[in-house]
Amino acid sequence: MDSPKCNPISDEVWTEQYTKLLRRIYLEAWGLGIVTSINKKGSTLDPNNYRGITVSSCLGKGFGTILKKRLNKYCDENNIIDDRQQNR
């Protein structure tokens, strides 16, 4: 009796499924943050004396940093973004 043939998953299907999973994990968990206000100075009764901060996931922060570096490297190597572009 012949064993069933294994159908390899195409690169396109694998990439699509991996991207969906990664997007779900990153956006639903790692991309979330808790926003809170801290007093800068002065009266705690004056709202102008507060500034907002966001506490985010360490995994999300690390993933975002790695992703940014890889995208920047790819864009630099392929001359995709003009040198005058800001916030790189």
The predicted-structure confidence for 30-57, as pLDDT tens digits, reads as follows: 667 788 899 988 998 998 999 988 887 7
Question: What pLDDT does residue 27 have?
Answer: 65
**Cβ(49)–Cβ(43) below 8 Å:** yes
Query: Are the C-beta atoms of residues 38 and 51 closer than 8 Å to each other?
Result: yes
- Per the confidence metrics, is the pTM higher than 0.85? no
DSSP one-letter code for 8: P
Residue 27 and residue 57 in contact, taking contact as beta carbons nearer than 8 Å: no
For residues 45 and 37, the answer to whether their CB atoms sit within 8 Å is no
